[in-house]
């Protein structure tokens, strides 16, 4: 095994369960101060985590040292979200220690699975964008791209979801209430972050004198790549007060006031904003964005100068990626640091900043595009407001864009335009999405400065296949040999085997094993018993109108109705599985959740239907639940209104795990279809262009409903209160919206969706045909490894070579 480091004390290749057991016991005793006889599951988890962490530290140092010594260019990935999930099992897998860890724990009388599942998810993200950042961190470590991820160490990640009478209830998430064994606190790496205040003149230059300050303190988590060959750092910032505790006030008895600055500072990293649907313009959110960005940029400049390089040389050593516009204040902040702190003039500073910055767009939805009122922006960041205006007027003077194009418009700062102008490359996240970014989002700017490229998303096959699907991963290794994990195109070698009934049967057995495990889990956790022979049809993602969970549940009702009408027919049994959270203020999404749970209650209790249809909605969908559901899925639901889903990444995980897609021509579905072939994909629905045309007809929903007896029946049943204990008012609004305000064209696509679902039934009934389709999905999923995506960014955006 080729290694990038040579000073290994802990050589993982020579580690035996007995060695590891000794390390675990040492940590149990000396790190945790516990006696093995009295250790809890938590204690054992900590002891194992520390023993594993020890094995990461040396490759981590070796990687860092090598980057310093060679002056290699580094990537800085700035993201308000990192949706990491659990780390223990992932670390053991990448170190090649998974089975050794399991044996070591068994020798100690502990169940590895139980220990792994005791770890809380690090849920520092909302959904796709945050999970992508986590996959990218793992892939950058795997391909040996020197990188830092920069984010916020939220005390509370995404809320926990419960259902009360079918309605979503949120409770705070509390991952740091237990010790987090993966991070290293770095009190010595702290930066002052300013807000508000005024602009003063110093030596004839305008500089900022902040009115408020907080401290950003670093917490580092090593991120280890496949086979432990390289490790990078995820650096999360925690907020602390800059002022000392006010002892004088405290002594005067003013206890609460004495703690005020502390409370104020800490709110900055207290909680993740749980709304990924609408931009709200809240001052605290802007402060969080600046807190992350300023801390990161100060850290980047400090490291650059410590390497002995000139400020003007920054682009040779530094590539900064903005994950959506959330850190787009990086443009003006970098300009401020270059000009106000390092004495550069505006023009050369612009050159340097633009050569460093890249911007990834993740959404076209107008309500999610960030725009800050100039009033808020100027109040919180007065110097940045000046700089933004200077950039805007420079841009106007130099390039003469149409009058309606610009950064500051109608008393708002548009972060998309700002990010575009400050970046040398702008990218979308799937082929279709990148085209739409060009055509619809930035057509004028792209004409003036062509810079939009595509980098289709990907997912890490270590977590999303090797780790979460042991039966299938084992079969793959048995069939094509080891090494596919970091060379996913090798899955193509499975293709010749789909002609072999023995291989297909083994493929089916692996899937069946996962389904059986999920059925047991759902019985225990949701109280629903399902047959593992039924088709597991899964839609898991944030609840959003454009993702059309509503279309899925309407089809479920139609199916239920059909089964009741024709109970003698030979139905293919189905389990409809839903998972996902709604933003707390998203009323319509919450109504959809309620309806799904209401339908589940009626359908699951219907003796006429029995095993032919079940609906299960496990609460609190998160990374760990995804790892349980996706390997057990037969069918992947990717049914967004065409033109709305930027890419999707869940779609790729299902494909890898051998679940064919039922889906629209949206986001990366387009590329999935292209890779897997039309015979192995259930395509339906209007295209992005047709969607736009159809909306021009104000009666599109009414026309579609009147043309579909089935949809009329479904809407009628809901309206009558069949799923709301006879109460017709509960879903009055929802039904009204389908008839009159169906912006996402649920009605227009309903019949096509139903027809595609009927094709799914037919295909599934032919067991060998289905297994062939499923296996081909896995075999052709190599393109969707995030290693491929990262190599694309390295070549097209960052100009970084792998260091391995």
Q: Which long-range contacts (CB under 8 A, 24 or more apart) does 296-304 make?
A: 296/76, 296/78, 296/150, 296/235, 296/237, 296/320, 296/327, 296/330, 297/330, 297/333, 297/334, 297/337, 298/191, 298/337, 299/150, 299/189, 299/191, 299/218, 299/235, 300/76, 301/337, 301/342, 303/74
- Residue 636 in the binding site for ligand 26V (CB under 6 A): no
- Residue 23 in the binding site for ligand 26V (CB under 6 A): no
Q: How far apart are CA 506 and CA 343, in angstroms?
A: 66
Which one of the listed residues 360, 456, 649, 661 is annotated catalytic? 649
Residue with Cβ nearer ligand 26V (52 or 589): 589
Residue with Cβ nearer ligand 26V (358 or 667): 667
- Residue 514 in the binding site for ligand 26V (CB under 6 A): no
- Residue 276 in the binding site for ligand 26V (CB under 6 A): yes
Q: How far apart are CA 456 and CA 429, in angstroms?
A: 5
Residue with Cβ nearer ligand 26V (43 or 324): 324
Residue 547 annotated among the catalytic residues of the structure: yes
Count of beta carbons in the 10 Å neighbourhood of residue 706: 12
Count of beta carbons in the 10 Å neighbourhood of residue 68: 14
Least distance to ligand 26V, CB of residue 92, Å = 27
List 57, 284, 311, 368, residue binding ligand 26V (CB under 6 A): 368
Least distance to ligand 26V, CB of residue 346, Å = 30
- Residue 77 in the binding site for ligand 26V (CB under 6 A): no
- Residues sharing a CB contact under 8 Å with residue 425, sequence separation 6 or more, in sequence order: 358, 359, 451, 453, 796, 797
- Residues sharing a CB contact under 8 Å with residue 736, sequence separation 6 or more, in sequence order: none
List 102, 417, 598, 645, residue binding ligand 26V (CB under 6 A): 645
Contact 414, 371 (CB under 8 A): yes
Residue with Cβ nearer ligand 26V (298 or 552): 552
Which one of the listed residues 287, 542, 576, 644 is annotated catalytic? 542
Determine the interface stretch with ligand 26V among 30-38, 268-276, 380-388, 415-423 (rule: CB under 6 A). Answer: 268-276
Site map (CB under 6 A) of ligand 26V, residues 106-145, x = contact: --------------------xxxx--x-------------
Residue 541 annotated among the catalytic residues of the structure: yes
Site map (CB under 6 A) of ligand 26V, residues 428-447, x = contact: -x------------------
Q: For residue 602, which of 458, 456, 717, 441 has the smallest C-alpha distance? A: 717
User: For residue 418, what are the CA distances in angstroms to 195, 327, 407, 642?
Assistant: 20, 11, 6, 27
Residue 334, both tokens: 């970098």
- Residue 667 in the binding site for ligand 26V (CB under 6 A): yes
Site map (CB under 6 A) of ligand 26V, residues 337-366, x = contact: -------------------------xx---
Q: How far apart are CA 112 and CA 86, in angstroms?
A: 14
Q: How far apart are CA 91 and CA 95, in angstroms?
A: 6
Residue with Cβ nearer ligand 26V (328 or 475): 328
- Residue 641 in the binding site for ligand 26V (CB under 6 A): no
Residue with Cβ nearer ligand 26V (275 or 351): 275
Count of beta carbons in the 10 Å neighbourhood of residue 333: 22
Torsion of CA 213, 219, 224, 225, to 10 degrees: -10
Torsion of CA 472, 474, 480, 482, to 10 degrees: 130
Residue 590 annotated among the catalytic residues of the structure: no
Residue with Cβ nearer ligand 26V (183 or 645): 645
Residue with Cβ nearer ligand 26V (333 or 370): 370
Site for ligand 26V in 541-560 (CB under 6 A): none
Least distance to ligand 26V, CB of residue 328, Å = 12
- Residue 653 in the binding site for ligand 26V (CB under 6 A): no
Q: How far apart are CA 639 and CA 701, in angstroms?
A: 17
Least distance to ligand 26V, CB of residue 748, Å = 21
Determine the interface stretch with ligand 26V among 143-151, 162-170, 304-312, 639-647 (rule: CB under 6 A). Answer: 639-647
Q: Which residue's CB comes closest to ligand 26V? A: 128
Residue count (the chain): 804
- Residue 719 in the binding site for ligand 26V (CB under 6 A): no
Residue with Cβ nearer ligand 26V (144 or 461): 461
Least distance to ligand 26V, CB of residue 651, Å = 8
Residue 187, both tokens: 């009190």
Least distance to ligand 26V, CB of residue 282, Å = 9
Least distance to ligand 26V, CB of residue 106, Å = 39
- Residue 457 in the binding site for ligand 26V (CB under 6 A): yes
Which phi and psi angles does 427 have, rounded to 5°?
Answer: -130, 150
Q: What is the DSSP string of 240-280?
A: EESSPP-HHHHHTT-HHHHTHHHHHHHGGGTB-----S---
Q: How far apart are CA 80 and CA 129, in angstroms?
A: 9
The interaxial angle of helices 41-70 and 98-107, nearest 10 deg, is 150
Residue with Cβ nearer ligand 26V (457 or 552): 457
- Residue 279 in the binding site for ligand 26V (CB under 6 A): yes
**CA atoms 364, 128, 487, 144: torsion sign:** positive
Angle among Cα 760, 765, 768 to the nearest 5 degrees reads 105
Residue with Cβ nearer ligand 26V (457 or 708): 457
Least distance to ligand 26V, CB of residue 369, Å = 8
Least distance to ligand 26V, CB of residue 279, Å = 4
Count of beta carbons in the 10 Å neighbourhood of residue 524: 8
Which one of the listed residues 547, 548, 612, 780 is annotated catalytic? 547
Least distance to ligand 26V, CB of residue 368, Å = 4
User: For residue 5, what are the CA distances in angstroms to 64, 66, 75, 566?
Assistant: 10, 8, 21, 67
Least distance to ligand 26V, CB of residue 125, Å = 8
Least distance to ligand 26V, CB of residue 488, Å = 18
Least distance to ligand 26V, CB of residue 541, Å = 9
Interface with ligand 26V (CB under 6 A), residue total 22
Count of beta carbons in the 10 Å neighbourhood of residue 245: 12
Q: For residue 592, which of 694, 455, 738, 472 has the smallest C-alpha distance? A: 738
Residue 14, both tokens: 């020579």
Q: How far apart are CA 294 and CA 194, in angstroms?
A: 9
Residue with Cβ nearer ligand 26V (327 or 648): 648
Residue with Cβ nearer ligand 26V (49 or 539): 539
Contact 642, 690 (CB under 8 A): yes
Residue 614 annotated among the catalytic residues of the structure: no
- Residue 647 in the binding site for ligand 26V (CB under 6 A): yes
List 88, 538, 646, 704, residue binding ligand 26V (CB under 6 A): 646
Which one of the listed residues 653, 730, 754, 780 is annotated catalytic? 653
- Residues sharing a CB contact under 8 Å with residue 239, sequence separation 6 or more, in sequence order: 214, 215, 216, 217, 265, 266, 267, 268, 269, 291
Which one of the listed residues 541, 559, 581, 780 is annotated catalytic? 541
User: For residue 337, what are the CA distances in angstroms to 352, 424, 658, 725?
Assistant: 12, 19, 50, 62
Residue 653 annotated among the catalytic residues of the structure: yes
Show which residues are catalytic.
362, 541-542, 547, 649, 653
Residues making contact with ligand 26V (CB under 6 A) = 126-129, 132, 273, 275-276, 279, 324, 362-363, 368, 370, 429, 457, 645-649, 667
């Amino acid at each position: 095994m080729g290694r990038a480091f040579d000073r290994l004390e802990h050589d993982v290749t020579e580690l035996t369960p007995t060695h590891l057991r000794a390390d675990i016991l040492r940590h149990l005793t000396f790190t945790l101060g516990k006696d093995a006889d009295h250790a809890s599951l938590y204690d054992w988890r900590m002891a194992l985590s520390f023993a594993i962490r020890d094995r990461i530290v040396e490759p981590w140092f070796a990687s860092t040292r090598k980057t310093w010594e060679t002056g290699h260019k580094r990537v800085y990935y700035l993201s308000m979200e990192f949706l990491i999930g659990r780390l223990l099992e992932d670390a053991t897998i990448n170190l090649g220690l998974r089975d050794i860890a399991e044996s070591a724990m068994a020798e100690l009388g502990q169940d590895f699975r139980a220990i792994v599942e005791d770890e809380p998810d690090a849920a520092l993200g909302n959904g796709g964008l945050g999970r992508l950042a986590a996959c990218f961190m793992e892939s950058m470590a795997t391909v040996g791209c020197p990188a830092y991820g920069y984010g916020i160490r939220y005390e509370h990640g995404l809320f926990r979801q419960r259902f009360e009478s079918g309605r979503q209830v949120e409770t705070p998430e509390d991952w740091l209430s237990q010790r987090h064994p993966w991070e290293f606190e770095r009190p010595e790496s702290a930066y002052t972050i300013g807000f508000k205040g005024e602009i003063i003149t110093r030596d004839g230059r305008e500089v900022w004198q902040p009115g408020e300050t907080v401290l950003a303190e670093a917490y580092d988590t090593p991120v280890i790549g496949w086979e432990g060959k390289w490790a990078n750092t995820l650096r999360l910032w925690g907020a602390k007060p800059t002022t000392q505790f006010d002892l004088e006030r405290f002594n005067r008895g003013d206890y609460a006031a004495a703690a005020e600055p502390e409370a104020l500072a800490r709110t900055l990293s207290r909680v993740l904003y749980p709304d990924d649907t609408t931009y709200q313009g809240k001052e605290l959110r802007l402060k969080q964005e600046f807190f992350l960005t300023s801390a990161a940029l100060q850290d980047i400049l400090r490291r650059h100068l410590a390497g002995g390089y000139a400020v003007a040389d920054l682009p040779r050593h530094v590539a900064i990626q903005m994950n959506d516009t959330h850190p787009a204040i990086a443009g003006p902040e970098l300009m401020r640091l270059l000009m106000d702190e390092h004495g550069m003039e505006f023009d050369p500073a612009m050159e340097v900043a633009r050569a460093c910055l890249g911007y990834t767009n993740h959404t076209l939805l107008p309500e999610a595009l960030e725009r800050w009122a100039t009033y808020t922006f100027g109040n919180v960041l007065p110097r940045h407001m000046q700089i933004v205006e200077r950039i805007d007027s420079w841009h106007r003077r130099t390039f003469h864009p149409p009058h309606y194009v610009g950064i500051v418009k109608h008393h708002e700062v548009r972060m998309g335009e700002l990010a575009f102008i400050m970046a040398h490359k702008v990218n979308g996240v799937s082929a279709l999405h990148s085209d739409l970014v060009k055509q619809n989002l930035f057509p004028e700017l792209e004409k003036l400065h062509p810079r939009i490229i595509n980098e289709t998303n990907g997912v890490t096959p270590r977590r999303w296949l090797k780790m979460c699907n042991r039966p299938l991963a084992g079969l793959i290794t048995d069939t094509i040999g080891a090494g596919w994990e970091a060379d996913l195109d090798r899955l193509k070698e499975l293709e010749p085997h789909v002609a072999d009934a023995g291989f297909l049967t083994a493929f089916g057995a692996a899937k069946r094993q996962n389904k059986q495990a999920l059925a047991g889990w759902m019985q225990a956790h949701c109280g629903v018993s399902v047959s593992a022979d039924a088709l597991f049809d899964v839609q898991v993602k944030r609840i959003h109108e454009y993702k059309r969970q509503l279309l899925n549940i309407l089809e479920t009702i139609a199916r239920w109705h059909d089964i009741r009408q024709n109970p003698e027919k030979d139905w293919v049994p189905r389990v409809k599985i839903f998972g996902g959270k709604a933003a707390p203020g998203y009323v319509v999404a919450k109504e959809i959740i309620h309806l799904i749970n209401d339908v589940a209650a009626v359908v699951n209790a219907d003796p006429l239907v029995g095993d032919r249809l079940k609906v299960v909605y496990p609460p609190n969908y998160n990374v760990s639940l995804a790892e349980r559901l996706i390997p057990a899925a037969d069918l992947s639901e990717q049914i967004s209104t065409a033109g709305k889903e930027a890419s999707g990444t869940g779609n790729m995980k299902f494909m890898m795990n051998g679940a064919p897609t039922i889906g629209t021509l949206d986001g990366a579905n387009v590329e999935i279809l292209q890779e897997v072939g039309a015979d192995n994909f259930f395509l339906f629905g209007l295209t992005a262009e047709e969607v736009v045309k159809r909306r021009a007809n104000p009666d599109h929903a009414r026309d579609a409903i009147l043309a579909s007896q089935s949809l009329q029946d479904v809407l009628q049943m809901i309206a009558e209160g069949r799923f709301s204990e006879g109460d017709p008012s509960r879903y009055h609004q929802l039904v009204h919206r389908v008839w009159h305000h169906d912006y996402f064209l649920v009605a227009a696509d309903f019949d096509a969706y139903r027809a595609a679902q009927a094709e799914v039934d037919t295909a599934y009934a032919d067991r060998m045909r289905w297994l062939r389709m499923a296996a081909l999905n896995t075999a052709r999923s190599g393109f969707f490894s995030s290693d491929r995506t990262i190599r694309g960014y390295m070549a097209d955006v960052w100009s970084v070579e792998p260091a391995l």
